[in-house]
Amino acid sequence: QKEVEQNSGPLSVPEGAIASLNCTYSDRGSQSFFWYRQYSGKSPELIMFIYSNGDKEDGRFTAQLNKASQYVSLLIRDSQPSDSATYLCAATGGGNKLTFGTGTQLKVEL
Amino acid sequence: DAGVIQSPRHEVTEMGQEVTLRCKPISGHDYLFWYRQTMMRGLELLIYFNNNVPIDDSGMPEDRFSAKMPNASFSTLKIQPSEPRDSAVYFCASRLSGVNTGELFFGEGSRLTVL
């Protein structure tokens, strides 16, 4: 079992809708969680991180963390075609090793 | 500022050949990571360095893989001999210590195809 699990998708949402991306992790020692976006053929780039239970908002993006359920999610409001990409969830236990999920492909349709 | 620079961007080689991938981290960054990405397994950490010293190489698949960082501005990942199952995109990433430990800056990757 991978330490960080994501549904590979694709997740298709219409333009303007809310996209909800989910991630679960198995290591209860994980402390920090990150969302990376990767466009096709490009490298991953960090878009959000969250350390504490609850919600963290940044523009159209909201990261949610529930440590009791070992669950992390990313909400994208007012989805745009430019949001179409693969979203990678990652976790670290406070050390230097960042463990990634396999990613969820998001398609925002016109 | 220049980002992480990797070369070559694409490499096609035959089974049994030696492959060397190169990385120049962002100036001033003291952590360097090598990742491998495949469709099946996603992004996997192979090895990372701190201040040019290898800290954790537990992700290196086998003895055919080796990595070096002779100075703060250069690292190599070598595969000898290469096998078809090594085909993947290899990413180098760097970051600065003392900041968000999850904020890695990735290079554009080296796409390796072993025939």
HEC profile of B53-81:
EEEECCCCCCCCEEEEEEECCEEEEEECC
pLDDT profile of chain A (110 residues), mean per 10: 86 97 93 95 95 95 96 97 97 84 95
Residues A75-106 have pLDDT tens digits of: 999 999 999 999 999 998 767 889 999 999 99
Cα dihedral angle (A40, A45, A51, A54), rounded to 10 degrees?
-50
State whether residue B98 sits within 8 Å of chain A by CB: no
CB spacing of B91 vs A44 below 8 angstroms: yes
B51 close to A (CB below 8 A)? no
Chain A residues closer than 8 Å to B43 by CB: 44, 88, 100
Dist. CA B83–CA B68, nearest whole Å: 20
Report pLDDT digits (tens) over B79-99: 999 999 999 999 999 999 876
Answer yes or no: are the C-beta atoms of B96 and B31 closer than 8 Å.
Answer: yes
Report the C-alpha gap between A95 and B90 in whole angstroms.
22
B45-55: average pLDDT: 95
A72 shares contact with chain B (CB less than 8 Å): no
